[in-house]
A and B are shown apart, each in its own frame.
Chain A
Amino acid sequence: MTTLEVEIWRGAEEGRYETYEVPSQPSQTVLDLVTYVQRKLDPSLAYRFACRVGVCGSCAMTVNGTPRWTCRTHVQKVATQGRVRIAPLRNLTVVKDLATDMAPFFDKVQEARGRFIPSDAAAKSVAEVPPEEPKRKEADAGIECIGCGVCHAACDVVRWLPEYLGPAALNRAWTLVNDARDGDRIGHLRAIAEDAGCHACHAHQSCAEHCPVGINPTRSISGLKRLVLMAAIRGRL
């Protein structure tokens, strides 16, 4: 049986890589490597996962320098010459080993007013919204975000300007301003026009490049830039 050389970050913000030998298997994800290490080699290794099928967004880590969802990343896809280096996600603080504190990431969603504001909360029936309406299509394109933080980790502006709202939060805001049922479009725009808002994005597109579910936050953010620009010029902010 061949083995893989797996380097894993141990510690918190301060730490080091430790190397482990993990037997290679035909069906093996990066999450499986980490699990093997915790179960068989070092019981104190900390990492996070829940669903194991790419819906919860808990398991993202940096794999050979790239942020990825580890439960859906086959080792063969990332191993280079039998080596895999696994680190926690960038741009978040490390709690322990591979687990980061994701609360600041979700705080940003709130800062971006990334939540539905009902226009008619007491309505007794479900609104009619044709799926082919252009705005609905825009919203649908960004709605399946799993909140994994991969885009947040990939974005250099988040790194350079820690208060920047970041791609996931802005993407959520974009889905809301395109939601015909939302009652506070201007409120969402105001939130993302604040000082570290959408205009801080330089269209690096690392977010879109790495999003595991194929969302394109760059597209959403540029949409927001246009709406904010119009609203600002018209004095509506």
Chain B
Amino acid sequence: MKRPELWLYVAQRGSALVLAPLVLLHLGVILYAVAGGLSAAEILGRTRTSWIWPATYGLFVVAAAIHAAIGLRVVLREWTSWRDSSLDIATVGFGLTLLLLGFRAVQAIA
């Protein structure tokens, strides 16, 4: 693709826009969960009652994988001398790892 850096930027900001409400929600959940002192079973009991939770967290995982991977790549390019294509491969690798781990987790709550 032409102008890869521009499109990475678009993807990074786009995923940030998706993440923003999800993280807000997640923060809400955390506050709710810790305050309620919920046990694992209780948490899972709630998430498993509807498809909304898994779907939401699924989206979260996709967006976070894109966002964090590109974000780390930017940091590495600027703060280290790692600039060649191996960095791109590592970025993709990191993103895929997040996806994999993320879906395993989502499966757990589904």
- Report A's interface with B, CB cutoff 8 A: 157, 160-161, 193-197, 199-200, 228-229, 232-233, 237
B77/A194 in contact, CB under 8 A: no
Tell whether, in the assembled complex, residue B77 and residue A195 are in contact, meaning their CB atoms are under 8 Å apart: no
Q: Could you say which residues of chain B place their CB within 8 Å of the CB of A229?
A: 10
Residues in chain A near residue B2, CB distance under 8 A: 237
Mark out the residues of chain B between 1 and 15 whose CB falls within 8 Å of any chain A CB in the assembled complex: 2-7, 9-10
Which secondary structure dominates chain B's binding surface?
helix
- With beta carbons under 8 angstroms apart, the residue of B6, B7, B9, B78 that contacts A160 is B78
Q: Is B51 an interface residue (CB 8 A)?
A: no
B5 near A199 with CB under 8 A, answer yes
* CB-nearest residue of chain B to A228: B6
Report the bound CA distance from A196 to B4 in whole Å: 10
Distance of A199 Cα from B5 Cα, bound (Å) = 8
Between B2, B4, B6, the greatest number of chain A beta carbons within 10 A of the residue's beta carbon is seen for B6
Q: Which residues of B contact A199 (CB under 8 A)?
A: 5-6, 9
A161, B4: Cβ atoms closer than 8 Å: no
Asked whether B79 lies within 8 Å of A194 as measured between CB atoms, the reply is: no
A197 to B9, CA, bound (A): 11
- Name the residue on A nearest B3 (C-beta): A193
Cross-chain contact of A157 among B5, B9, B78 (Cβ < 8 A):
B78
- In the complex, given contacts A161-B77, A194-B6, A197-B6, what are 19 additional A-B residue pairs having Cβ atoms less than 8 angstroms apart? A157-B78, A160-B77, A160-B78, A160-B79, A161-B78, A193-B3, A194-B3, A195-B3, A195-B4, A195-B5, A197-B5, A199-B6, A199-B9, A200-B5, A232-B3, A232-B6, A233-B10, A237-B2, A237-B6
> Are A195 and B79 touching (Cβ within 8 A)?
no
The chain B residue sitting closest to A196, CB to CB, is B5
Chain A residue with Cβ nearest B79: A160
Q: For B9, list chain A residues within 8 Å (CB).
A: 199
The distance in angstroms between the C-alpha atoms of A197 and B7, with both chains bound, is 12
State which residues 38-95 of B face A: CB under 8 Å.
77-79
Contacts of B5 in A (CB 8 A): 195-197, 199-200
What are 17 A-B pairs with beta-carbon distances under 8 A? A157-B78, A160-B77, A160-B78, A161-B77, A194-B6, A195-B3, A195-B4, A196-B5, A197-B5, A199-B6, A199-B9, A228-B6, A229-B10, A232-B3, A237-B2, A237-B3, A237-B6
Q: Shortest CB–CB separation between residue A188 and chain B, in angstroms?
A: 15
- Which residue of B10, B77, B79 contacts A232 across the interface (Cβ within 8 Å)? B10
- In the complex, residue of chain A having the shortest beta-carbon distance to the beta carbon of B13: A229
B-chain residues with CB within 8 Å of residue A196 when the two chains form the complex: 5
Q: Which residues of A contact B6 (CB under 8 A)?
A: 193-195, 197, 199, 228, 232, 237
A199 to nearest B CB, angstroms?
4
Q: Shortest CB–CB separation between residue A223 and chain B, in angstroms?
A: 16
Please, how many angstroms separate the alpha-carbon atoms of A200 and B106 in the complex? 34
Give CA–CA (A232, B4) in the complex, Å: 12
Smallest CB-CB A-B distances: 4 pairs = A199-B9, A160-B78, A195-B5, A193-B6
Which B residues touch A194, using CB under 8 A? 3, 6
Q: Which residues of B contact A233 (CB under 8 A)?
A: 10
Bound CA–CA A107/B82 (angstroms): 26
Query: Which residue of B is nearest A161, CB measured?
Result: B78
